[in-house]
Amino acid sequence: MNSLRFISEEIVWQEVPNETSLAFLISGCPLGCKGCHSADSWKQSNGTKLCPIYLANRIALYKGLISCVLFMGGEWQEQNLLAMLKLVKEQGLKTCLYTGLELDQVSDSLLNELDYIKTGRWIAERGGLNSLTTNQRFIDLNTKQILNHLFQQVSNND
Ligand code: SF4
């Protein structure tokens, strides 16, 4: 079975509102959106292997400092991503997935392990989460609320 690989790893504050997240950009997105900001991540063999031991060590390193782990992609390796999400939840942290799929294209198995999800592929003329015309949605799966307004406030104050 292939393993998840990641291109980058960083601590982020804006991608998941009100959470401090450890974010992994996962290799192998098959959607090929025109204008993708991370086309270097399309090739599945690129990047560093993300195994459970590595992830557990990173969570231990950031214990008390992070509240969430964000996976930017990885749903194309569902079983591997599920194992990672379960590991995160067992550590008492929240989980978020950024996907280019629509909500009804994401499996119930994945949704059951997620607290937040960003859906919708990148369409340049409609913009991202901070755009009023975006096709993308950021959803709190626990409350079923769409939280796009939390991203749009930032740009509307410009
Ligand atoms: S879904 Fe995201 S990562 Fe995948 S091709 Fe589209 S913009 Fe790039």
For 65-110, what is each residue's pLDDT tens digit?
A: 999 999 999 999 999 999 999 999 999 999 999 999 999 999 999 9
Asked if the structure places residue 12 within a domain, the reply is yes
CATH (domain of 120): 3.20.20.70
* 156 within some domain: no
Say how many domains are in the chain.
Answer: 1
Supply the range of the domain harboring residue 85: 5-150
Tokens of 105: 């294209």
Per the structure block, which two tokens stand in for 40?
């270097």
| 32 located within any domain | yes
Q: What is the pLDDT of residues 25-76, one digit of tens each?
A: 999 999 999 999 999 999 999 999 999 999 999 999 999 999 999 999 999 9
Among 24, 34, 36, which residue has the most ligand 1 atoms within 8 Å of its CB, making it the best to mutate? Answer: 36
Structure tokens at 61: 């390193």
In a domain, 101, yes or no: yes
Place of tokens 């996962």: 26
- The closest-lying atom of ligand 1 relative to the alpha carbon of residue 31 is 5
Q: Does the Cβ of 36 fall within 6 Å of ligand 1?
A: yes
Cβ(31) – ligand 1 distance below 6 Å = yes
Q: Which residue has the higher pLDDT, 153 or 109?
A: 109
- 103 Cβ closer than 6 Å to some ligand 1 atom: no
Helix axis angle, 52-61 to 78-90, nearest 10°: 30
100: Cβ below 6 Å to ligand 1?
yes
Element housing 51 (H / E): none
User: Could you tell me if residue 97 is inside a domain?
Assistant: yes
